Amino acid sequence: DLEELTYKVVIIGDPAVGKSSIIQNLVNESEPMKEYKATIGFDIFNYSAHVNDKLITMQIWDTCGLIEFSACTPKLYNNVSLAIIVYAINKKETFENVQNWYNLLKLNSSADTKVFIVGNKLDLENEREVSKEEGEKYVKDNSFKFFIETSAKEHKYVHDMFNKGFVEL
The site for ligand G3D (CB under 6 A) is made up of 15-21, 120-121, 123-124, 151-153
SS3 10: strand
Residue 77 CB, nearest approach to Mg ion (Å): 17
Choosing from 8, 11, 14, 20, the residue that interacts with Mg ion (CB under 5 A) is 20
Determine, following the binding rule CB under 5 A, whether residue 24 of this chain makes contact with Mg ion: no
Q: Are 73 and 59 in contact (CB under 8 A)?
A: no
Q: Which does 153 bind (CB under 5 to 8 A by kind): ligand G3D, Mg ion, none?
A: ligand G3D
SS3 76: helix
Residue showing the smallest CB distance to Mg ion in the complex: 20
Determine, following the binding rule CB under 5 A, whether residue 108 of this chain makes contact with Mg ion: no
Residue 94 CB, nearest approach to ligand G3D (Å): 9
Sheet of strand 30-32, all strands in order from the earlier edge strand to the far edge: 30-32, 42-51, 54-63, 3-13, 82-88, 114-120, 146-149
